[in-house]
Structure 1
């Protein structure tokens, strides 16, 4: 090598370079070349070998509540796809691990444990029902995970390992009850599916009506997935309420609204306020049979604003022009975006670091700007009431003037009293969050 280098220098006219100098120069050039190759190889290896960030997506894709949860699953995946399309997070792609809770709470628990212990998920997005969330929550806390819960719910909970992007009861239930009390009458009938969310929500409503001079003329519950509700409807009509508040979930809504129509209980005579149903489910339940009734939520697809219009366009482009978007779907989307913001702020995907970074975060969501409360990890949101149209969309008839501070524990009882009520439900159902 030294002789070839020396001859090359002679050809270039450099005739008096000592052989020792040629050797030094040649070795230096070889070292520089080797270092460059190593650096390029290292950078290439970094680009190829950085592992993806695994996150769990835990919803019911089958079973009685799948009609509500499948669209939420889609909205979660849309957010992940959009983040990946813009380069991912911290130089890594997000890998969703999608699992099916099968509308069965023990299955949710087993899958949450697997996502955290086996898949090492940096976060779990999911759990539509309160029964599934309350079943999963102890596992999330024990394994130091992070759950992003997208559904409006009954409150009475505030876990340091759960970010609640759905509405707390003071952000949808109590404002809607007050509006109906002021505008439609004082006699209320409360009906729901027989699990923790309807039971707890109705306890809140009964406290509120007692304080404001309303009257509960009846209260009844049906099993999840029930199809014959004609006897229930006869009881409701006989009680002569002025408003029905429904927390019936899933496919039981179709026979319920149909039976009301058949009994002559039209929305003009006896309106139903649902505190659980949204636009996505109505597409499976013949919305024309529900038209004229009401829903209380923080978000409807018909919310104005460029951000929401763009979100709706993107969702329809990805999942089809006939797709509709509901409150928990939108909250699921913003859950992923808030998590991603917190990961960037923390420069870390560890749940403990992300949960610190997310406190106080804001996001310009389709529903409008929201904030994550620094103390209770619930989102600040608006309250809205909508009236169902025959096409399955909703006309917004009322909304709060500002975003509302989330109050997970309603002030009508002490935290100890609420927890005692929940304990009695759980033990009364043989350590389950739904009636067996």
Structure 2
């Protein structure tokens, strides 16, 4: 008899970052359908969906409700603030969060499996790339919460190792779209590159306004003030709009343009399931992979007890659309393949750097060296208060 398990799906599909949330929900639902249609998985999944609507205060109650209903495993959260909001609930009930997106690192919880990119997968390759190819004077703009704060801190330290500098740093509340003062500060400080850690509607407004402001001044924004991100994906390019989507750098472990049979198959299935979407995002692929990894672990455990499933998740392997993904048994983060893309006018990315194989996760940046070439010195330990 095939065992059936309820799993939670927790993404904000409305609100200021609803575009990303929808793509993550799509990826998770596609994986659930695949598991349920393939007898080889040996189990059936019943997704229990909750939409916090981008309201931080709604996340913990949603997790409480799902756990009270018998759900021990939840795939969800996009923002770091929402993740930190729910971790105490998972620890209280000894349930497991499968967190499927890039994040700033410097965290470890016995009740979280991190299947998205750690900072050595996205921050270090990006800093290497732009300091070698563009310049080392950087202006930072971000949403006013932990993702941007910590990303900019890591960036600042990595730049110091490369004799670079942060010439300006500005933050906006999540969802804020008044970016004129920030753009004026960029022109005044005249950086080589802009590092963007804005999310959702704030980011889309910035890209549009910055391109328009440069054009009004006769400046080729892509050449003079390129923008680099660790959180820009294909659906978000569509949200920016055709007038400002090309020429942006994004550091990620997945792009829909990856030219492999496995990814071609994934993109084809994704588009068939969600014809309103152009292509899947890195977040959609990460959510898809998280559900598949969870299903494989549930089958091996033979039950949904958190500790049993987590034991089976250690060293779990998956031939994912991005390539091989392996759960590290010591950190419970994933081995992933770093890549850097440059956005195109058609809403996809040209891949300009590919590490070629999975890189071990290093969430605290203790053992990492540059993906392209090791810097001369790196601190042995970093502590975040």
Out of 281, 290, 297, the position equivalent to 1:326 is 281
What secondary structure is seen at the aligned counterpart in 1 of 2:224?
coil
1:336 Cα deviation (Å)? 0.7
Out of 52, 55, 62, the position equivalent to 1:104 is 55
Out of 48, 52, 70, the position equivalent to 2:22 is 70
Tell whether 2:176 aligns with 1:226: yes
Matches within 5 A, 1:198-277: 198-264=148-214, 266-277=221-232
- Distance in 2, Cα, partners of 1:192 & 1:335: 27
What secondary structure is seen at the aligned counterpart in 2 of 1:284?
helix
**Residue matched to 2:369:** none
Q: Is the 8 A contact 2:208 2:243 kept in 1?
A: no
Q: Which runs of 5+ in 1 are unaligned?
A: 1-45, 421-436
Which whole-Å deviations, capped at 9, do the CAs of 1:114-153 have from their partners, x for residues lacking one?
111x211131011011010111111111111111111100
1:240 Cα deviation (Å)? 0.4
What secondary structure is seen at the aligned counterpart in 1 of 2:101?
coil
Out of 367, 386, 398, the position equivalent to 2:353 is 398
TM-score by length of 1: 0.82
Structure number having the greater helix percentage = 1
1:290 Cα deviation (Å)? 2.3
- Distance in 2, Cα, partners of 1:75 & 1:224: 24
What secondary structure is seen at the aligned counterpart in 1 of 2:72?
coil
Which whole-Å deviations, capped at 9, do the CAs of 1:287-330 have from their partners, x for residues lacking one?
44120111110100001111100011011111106432111110
C-alpha distance 307-141 of structure 1, shift in aligned 2 (>3 A): same
1:402 Cα deviation (Å)? 2.5
- Distance in 2, Cα, partners of 1:209 & 1:342: 40
Matches within 5 A, 1:310-349: 310-320=265-275, 322-349=277-304
**Residue matched to 1:156:** 106
Which whole-Å deviations, capped at 9, do the CAs of 1:13-35 have from their partners, x for residues lacking one?
xxxxxxxxxxxxxxxxxxxxxxx
Out of 41, 55, 58, the position equivalent to 2:7 is 55
Q: Is the 8 A contact 1:288 1:391 kept in 2?
A: no
> After the TM superposition, which of the residue ranges 319-328 and 55-64 deviates more from structure 2?
319-328
Out of 35, 41, 44, the position equivalent to 1:83 is 35
**Residue matched to 2:371:** none
Out of 133, 152, 170, the position equivalent to 2:120 is 170
1:101 Cα deviation (Å)? 1.2
Out of 142, 151, 161, the position equivalent to 1:192 is 142
- Distance in 1, Cα, partners of 2:104 & 2:110: 17
1:414 Cα deviation (Å)? 7.4
- Distance in 1, Cα, partners of 2:206 & 2:181: 10
Q: Is the 8 A contact 1:301 1:326 kept in 2?
A: yes
**Residue matched to 1:417:** 383
Q: Is the 8 A contact 1:156 1:415 kept in 2?
A: no
TM-score by length of 2: 0.92
Q: Is the 8 A contact 2:73 2:306 kept in 1?
A: yes
- Distance in 2, Cα, partners of 1:102 & 1:189: 31
- Distance in 1, Cα, partners of 2:276 & 2:60: 35
C-alpha distance 415-213 of structure 1, shift in aligned 2 (>3 A): closer
- Distance in 2, Cα, partners of 1:88 & 1:104: 38
Out of 64, 79, 87, the position equivalent to 1:113 is 64
Q: Is the 8 A contact 1:302 1:394 kept in 2?
A: yes
1:163 Cα deviation (Å)? 1.0
Which whole-Å deviations, capped at 9, do the CAs of 1:229-282 have from their partners, x for residues lacking one?
011101011100001010010011222112212222511111000111211222
C-alpha distance 349-155 of structure 1, shift in aligned 2 (>3 A): same
- Distance in 2, Cα, partners of 1:109 & 1:287: 37
1:343 Cα deviation (Å)? 1.3
Matches within 5 A, 1:271-286: 271-286=226-241
Q: Which has the larger radius of gyration?
A: 1
What secondary structure is seen at the aligned counterpart in 2 of 1:371?
strand
> After the TM superposition, which of the residue ranges 209-218 and 405-414 deviates more from structure 2?
405-414
Q: Is the 8 A contact 1:204 1:410 kept in 2?
A: no
What secondary structure is seen at the aligned counterpart in 2 of 1:125?
strand
Count of aligned pairs: 369
**Residue matched to 2:94:** 144
What secondary structure is seen at the aligned counterpart in 1 of 2:257?
coil
